[in-house]
Amino acid sequence: METSMTSDLLRAYKEAMELDQVDPCSYSPLVLAYIGDSVYEVMIRMRVINGGNTQVNKLHRRASRLVCAGAQSAMMGFLEGELTPEELSVFKRGRNSHSASSAKNASITDYRRATGFEALVGWLFLTEQFGRLVELVSLGLRGLGELSGNKTGAGECLEEGGSEAGGGKCLEESGAGKAMEEGSRPGEENIIQENDPCDTKN
Which residues does the annotation mark as catalytic? 37
Task: Find the helix packing angle between 176-183 and 69-79, rounded to 10°.
Answer: 80
3-state SS, residue 59: helix
Which CB contacts under 8 angstroms, 24+ apart, belong to 131-140?
131/3, 133/39, 134/43, 136/79, 136/82, 136/83, 136/87, 137/40, 137/43, 137/75, 139/78, 139/79, 139/82, 140/75, 140/76, 140/78, 140/79
d(CA 95, CA 35): 15
Per the CB < 8 A criterion, the answer to whether 76 and 117 are in contact is: yes
Per the CB < 8 A criterion, the answer to whether 117 and 75 are in contact is: yes
Taking the CB of residue 76, how many other CB atoms lie within 10 A of it? 24
